Amino acid sequence: MPDDSTQSKVLWGFSVLCFIASILSILFYLRAPSTEGTSVLLGYSWSRLVIILLIALSAVAFLWLAISVWRKRTSGRILQYCQALLGREEIRNRILMGALLAFCVCAVIVLLSANVKEGPYYYYLTRITPLVVWLAYLSMSTIVALILFVENFRPFGLVAFLLPLVILLLGMAMHMRLWYTTNDPRGNDIFYLYQEGHRLLEGENPYTRILSGDMLVNQKYPTHLPLFYYLSWFTQAVGLNKFFNWLDFWKVIFLWFNLGVALLLFYIPMRRNMLVLAVFGSLFWLFNRWSLLLTTIMDIDYIPIFLLILSLLLFPRHKIWSILLFSLSLGVKHVALFHIPLYLIWTWQESKNRPVWQVVKTGIILIAPLLVISLPFILLNWEGFYKSILFTATRLPSDSFRAPSLDDLLGWIGLPAKIPLFIMIALIYLIAWQRKTRFFTATLLVMTSYLFFNSNFFKENFVWIIPFIPLAAYELADKELTDLQNPSSFRG
């Protein structure tokens, strides 16, 4: 760490700059009173008063910090506390990643306000943009001050945290640009997800539509578990009942999860100081054609992919949170369904005592949230629910590239058509059971087998293997794997 005098200068400069920024933000809000009819005190609305109070409290806190650091009597205690806090790598990384994520979220809102010139969001965006700019400044200042405080002005440390910021901003600009260059989205799956939420809003059970079909021909049936249908219903119930207004909200959410995947792909290799691989992984994710395609069709896959990667990352040390995140991923879109046995195998292998109970516990934690969200539809119409979920396995083969699968060439349909896929997946389970592969590599094998042996082959499914290519390369490069799992547990 830098010496005490350097640390004092960094903290004092950070506090003064943040205090000045807070005062300027308050002055901006005071010069821009609320819209007529919404004021409650001195021409300001409640929301405006709350924001002014929040920034004022922040200004007082930063002023107190600047004065305290300047005084020799108290600066020693403050520096000692900061050194103890930031000396722990885990806490330091969490602060840095949190500040970086906050900056990216703020940047999304600022860019969105610059592009949206009309509609229901324009009023709200113009009101919160000054606050968001202030938060972006604070988060960026925190990143820079923390790097200077801890890394002793080393260029590598500064570059390592500024690079993802630049990459995320470039990716953000590119993907937001695609919002305004796409065709009518009402022909894409996102429109039918909106419709399922609308049916729930109207009191209809969306899963009953499949009862009028033959389980072979697709009529845009609801084939996902109901978590996103609930989210679609809720966002419509609170006022976003017009499709394009609803979509304007969700495409921002998709962008955040998209950037979250890129941040994970940067963060995971950087824990081993693999800067080049970290840069490659984040760029590979943000700018490959399949991720760009997913943004143009505005599908929901960014959410379950992010949850799956985060689940795999947390599994060695935080198994309960990992399993819950995996369950949420399945609840949004159950593409990773074949990972359920992998989680059970990994639990068995890492259980020192009572492995059977640990596997049962994992299964309960995984299935319980899915059962809870599905229970209303199961009770209302069990046949409609299970046929809708099963339809993906029984529907006629289809693909986007005129590249038929093995079962299609053999003329197999229904569940027997999935035999080649089941064989390949079973072999991956055997590899995992023999401890010949690791988390991300096993995921890459499962997703690739699912993509290339499934009867239904759609171009948007390619995005599910993209993030696990650099992550599998990371596992190959990281021989020790001390942050992910016990290296002694591998025999291959």
Span 227-237, average pLDDT: 93
What is the reported pLDDT for 485?
Answer: 47
What is the reported pLDDT for 42?
Answer: 61
- 229-238, 347-356, 438-447: least confidently modelled range: 347-356
Residue 154 falls in which region: left (phi positive, over 0), alpha (psi -120 to 50) or beta: beta
Q: What is the number of alpha carbons within 13 Å of residue 370 lying toward its C-beta? A: 23
As separate numbers, helices (DSSP H) first and strands (DSSP E) second, the chain gives 20, 2
Q: How confident is the model at residue 126 (pLDDT cuts 50, 70, 90)?
A: low
Local structure of 447: helix, strand or coil: helix
Residue 224 above 70 pLDDT? yes
Q: Measuring CA to CA, how many Å separate 402 from each of 399, 420, 455, 456? A: 6, 19, 12, 11
For residue 397, give the DSSP letter.
Answer: P
In angstroms, how far is CA 191 from the centroid of its own chain? 21
Q: How confident is the model at residue 266 (pLDDT cuts 50, 70, 90)?
A: very high
In angstroms, how far is CA 29 from the centroid of its own chain? 32
Question: What is the rounded CA–CA span in Å between residue 213 and residue 217?
Answer: 7
**Spatial CB neighbours of 108, under 8 Å, sequence gap ≥ 6:** 172, 176, 252, 255, 256, 259
Q: E strand or H helix at 29, and its extent?
A: helix 4-31
Tokens standing for residue 43:
């021409």
Span 317-341, average pLDDT: 93
State pLDDT tens for residues 354-391. Answer: 788 889 999 999 999 999 999 999 998 888 888 888 88
Terminal Cα distance for the chain, rounded: 40
For residue 434, give the DSSP letter.
Answer: T
Query: 18 near 26, Cβ under 8 Å?
Result: no
Span 397-424, average pLDDT: 80
Local structure of 41: helix, strand or coil: strand
What is the reported pLDDT for 435?
Answer: 87
Query: 17 near 141, Cβ under 8 Å?
Result: yes
Highest mean pLDDT among 5-19, 81-95, 291-305, 392-406: 291-305
Query: 197 near 236, Cβ under 8 Å?
Result: yes
Q: How confident is the model at residue 411 (pLDDT cuts 50, 70, 90)?
A: confident
- Report the percentage of the chain scoring pLDDT > 90: 33
Question: What is the rounded CA–CA span in Å between residue 193 and residue 230?
Answer: 10
pTM score of the predicted model: 0.77
What is the reported pLDDT for 487?
Answer: 40
Q: How confident is the model at residue 483 (pLDDT cuts 50, 70, 90)?
A: very low
The Cα diameter of the chain in Å comes to: 83
Tokens standing for residue 139:
């988060």
State pLDDT tens for residues 35-64. Answer: 555 555 666 666 677 777 888 888 888 888
